[in-house]
Amino acid sequence: MANTQNTWDQECDVLVVGSGAGALTGAYGAAVRGLDTLVIEKTGYFGGTTAYAGAGLWLPGNHVQARDGVEDSADLARAYFRAVVGDATDQRVQDAYLDRAAETVAFLEDSPHVRFEYRPFPDYFAAPGRFDAGRAVFPVELPADAGPQHLLDAVRPPAWAERLGLPVPDGPLTDGRALIGRLLLALESTGHGRTLLDTALTGLITEDGAVVGVETEHDGRTLRIRARGGVLLAAGGFEANAELRRDWQELPGADWTMGAPGANTGDAITAAVSAGAALDLLDQAWWCPSLRFPDGSAAFTLGLHGGIFVDGSGHRFANESLPYDRMGRQMLGAKAGTAHDNPVWWIFDGRFGDELPGITVVPADRTAFTDAGLWRTADTLDGLAERIGVEAGALRDTVRTFNGYAADGTDADFQRGEDPYDRFFAQGTGPNPCLVPIDEGPYHAVQIVLGDLGTKGGVRTDAQARVLRADGGAIPGLYAAGNTAASVSGRCYPGPGVPIGSAMVFGHIAADHIAA
Ligand code: FAD
């Protein structure tokens, strides 16, 4: 925590740290009310992990759903949220999310720059209040020339382009990039929003226990910025910080996260702790099975339409069509794919040609993967078992049993294909479209590890998005949203769009509270 010396390099009413959707929703909310708002972003790009996202937004009961005839409400969503999250988090904070989600969407769509559309994507649990067809809304794509190029050109590229060193595609901004672009244009249009790239929060400045400003690093210089109304921390989690991940999560490091390299290293969380913040849910992340890459990284993999996952013993351990966070938790439970020496193997057969039977957000180059030993192939199952160091009889039995389930249409072990989410991505033509037999050589095995879309433990907050001390009191002047805060969804991922949707609602609430 920096000392107060009452000398400031800059001043503003509201200082927002980070530039994901939670940050920019908060910044827009403050600026549109006439508050002088400054967004600082550590990297040279706006958008953080949000820019990588599909940008489904779980904001139940909003008018965009209603426009498409989807009859949802905060109360229906509450029944569902209570059933799946329960009392893992403060129900007053849950209610703030659910009761103010629709208002957040309406508030944003009041700007001519922000537009959403409804698209089906099922909720992740069979529980009361669930929407089988889903309740997420998405940003409408944004023409690349819709606004000032200094803003739109600085939106973080898609994950696959950054990872593979490829140029940003021509054409409109889509998904998370569209959301960030739209929020930036909305912020700019208020005339009260400013942004500073390459400017990292390094500490919070307090006076008598209240946060009154921040210390930042910009261009090798320390800048002290006074925030007269409040500071909103929305600087992501600590997914890219290997040391914190070992300390707080007992994981081998930070190589397998989808978070942008070097961006979300928990700076805002550690700064808040120095100002007295309490922490929660540090062992948690938005988990996902991930394809292991030759450079040591890994990429989010979802929507399997073929193959099974086996552990080092050659046995299945879960329904492979589970929503990704639920699969991640099965991997943690089975201790499969959680360390460098215990990969999960994705086993599938020759019917898919050279393609992976699933979606990976960064495409895999078959030759490079094969050269690195991450994709192994054999003409027979026994040959494949030998190549991956699994007992041949065990793999043979696993596949024989699975093929029997595929013929019957019933997965007696893990009930794969019985849930609407399972079937959302299915392409099989047998009695159960999720169960595709594995009986046509050659046979393939591809390494899968436990990755994440970001961590979700952080500072404790209340229903006004105020950061709390261990005694439950709020730290005056300090707010948090997104993965900097301990997630309102606790130890599960209820449905598509909860990470960004909740970040946006709490960014909106923080701005409202500061402006009041
Ligand atoms: P971010 O969006 O990462 O923003 C944090 C920003 O803070 C970054 O720009 C970072 O550089 C900056 N920052 C960090 N430290 C500092 C500092 N010291 N000073 C200043 N700035 C700093 N979630 C959904 O809800 N729906 C989806 O459809 C979805 N799809 C996804 C798809 C993919 C491929 C991935 C990878 C994730 C997806 N997620 C989705 C998850 C979601 O993107 C993230 O959980 C969410 O965007 C995190 O938001 P955030 O604001 O906490 O962090």
Q: How far apart are CA 55 and CA 404, in angstroms?
A: 38
Closest CA to 93 of 511, 510, 514, 515: 510
Q: Which amino acid is at 364?
A: A
- Sequence-ordered alpha helix ranges (H) in 33-174: 48-52, 63-67, 74-85, 91-109, 149-152, 159-164
* Pocket mutation for ligand 1, best pick of 264, 265, 456, 487 (most atoms within 8 Å of C-beta): 264
Look-up of token digits 């999250």: 85
pLDDT on residue 115? 98
Q: What token pair was written down for 244? A: 């914190």
Cis peptide before 442 (omega within 30 of 0): yes
pLDDT in tens, 360-406: 999 999 999 999 999 999 999 999 999 999 999 999 999 999 999 99
Q: In the structure, which protein residues have their CB atom closer than 6 angstroms to any atom of ligand 1?
A: 17-20, 22-23, 40-43, 48-50, 52-56, 159, 200-201, 234-236, 258, 263-264, 267-268, 286, 300, 361, 453-454, 482-483, 496-501, 503
Q: Residue 475: pLDDT above 80?
A: yes
Question: What percentage of the chain carries pLDDT values higher than 90?
Answer: 96
What are the pLDDT digits (tens) for 121-180? 999 999 999 988 889 999 999 999 999 999 999 999 999 999 999 999 899 999 999 999
| % of the chain with per-residue pLDDT over 70 | 99
CA torsion through residues 43, 48, 141, 302, sign: positive
CB count, 10 Å around CB of 237?
33
Flag whether pLDDT at 507 surpasses 80.
Answer: yes
Tokens of 508: 């909106």
Three-state secondary-structure class, residue 107:
helix
Q: Are strands 344-349 and 308-310 parallel, antiparallel or unpaired?
A: antiparallel
| pLDDT, position 457 | 98
pLDDT digits (tens, 9 = 90+) for 30-50: 999 999 999 999 999 999 999
| CA–CA separation, 448 and 338 (whole Å) | 9
**AA identity, residue 341:** D
On the 0-12 / 13-18 / 19+ scale of CB atoms within 10 A, 110 is: exposed
Whether pLDDT at 219 is above 70:
yes
Q: Strand pairing of 210-218 and 199-207?
A: antiparallel
Q: Cα of 485 to ligand 1 centre, how many Å?
A: 12
d(CA 477, CA 228): 9
> In whole angstroms, what is the distance from residue 166 CA to residue 197 CA?
22
- Residue 317 in this model has a pLDDT that exceeds 80: yes
Confidence band, pLDDT 50/70/90 cuts, at residue 6: low
Compute the CA torsion angle 26, 29, 34, 35 (nearest 10 deg): -20
Asked if 434 contacts 410 with a C-beta cutoff of 8 angstroms, the reply is no
- Reference 186, options 116, 109, 118; nearest CA is 109
Given this model, what pLDDT does residue 252 score?
84
The confidence score (pLDDT) of residue 414 equals 98
Give residue 38's pLDDT.
98
Residues 123 and 135: beta-carbon distance below 8 Å: yes
Give the 3-state secondary structure of residue 310.
Answer: strand
**Element (DSSP H or E) covering residue 225:** strand 221-233
Q: For residue 513, what is the enclosing H or E element? A: helix 498-515
Residues forming a β-bridge with 346: 309, 446
| Summary mean pLDDT of the chain | 96
Tokens of 239: 């997914």
Rounded distance, CA 99 to CA 91, Å?
12
Using pLDDT thresholds of 50, 70 and 90, give the confidence band for residue 260.
Answer: confident
pLDDT (0 to 100) of residue 154: 98
Collect all residues with Cβ–Cβ distance below 8 Å to 258 and sequence separation of at least 6.
49, 52, 159, 239, 288, 290, 299, 300, 361, 451, 452, 453, 454
For residue 4, is pLDDT > 60?
no
Show the CA angle centred on residue 27, arms to residues 21 and 31, nearest 5°: 145
At 5 the pLDDT is 56
ipTM rounded to 2 decimals: 1.00
Q: How far is the CA of 236 from the centre of ligand 1 (A)?
A: 5
Mutate to test the pocket of ligand 1, among 500, 506, 508 (most ligand atoms within 8 A of CB): 500
By the 8 A CB rule, do 81 and 98 touch?
yes
Per DSSP, the residues of 156-204 read PPPHHHHHHTPPPPSS-B-HHHHHHHHHHHHHHHHS-EEEESSEEEEEE
Distance 195 CA to ligand 1 centre (A): 17
Nearest Cα neighbor of 154 from 25, 260, 47 is 47
pLDDT at 64 over 80: yes
Q: Which residues partner with 480 through β-bridges?
A: 233
Q: Give the mean pLDDT of 322-329.
A: 98
Measured CA to CA, the distance from residue 124 to residue 325 in angstroms comes to 9
Task: Calculate how far, in angstroms, residue 50's C-alpha sits from the geometric centre of ligand 1.
Answer: 4
Q: Over the stretch 418-436, which tens digit does the pLDDT of each residue have?
A: 999 999 999 999 999 999 9
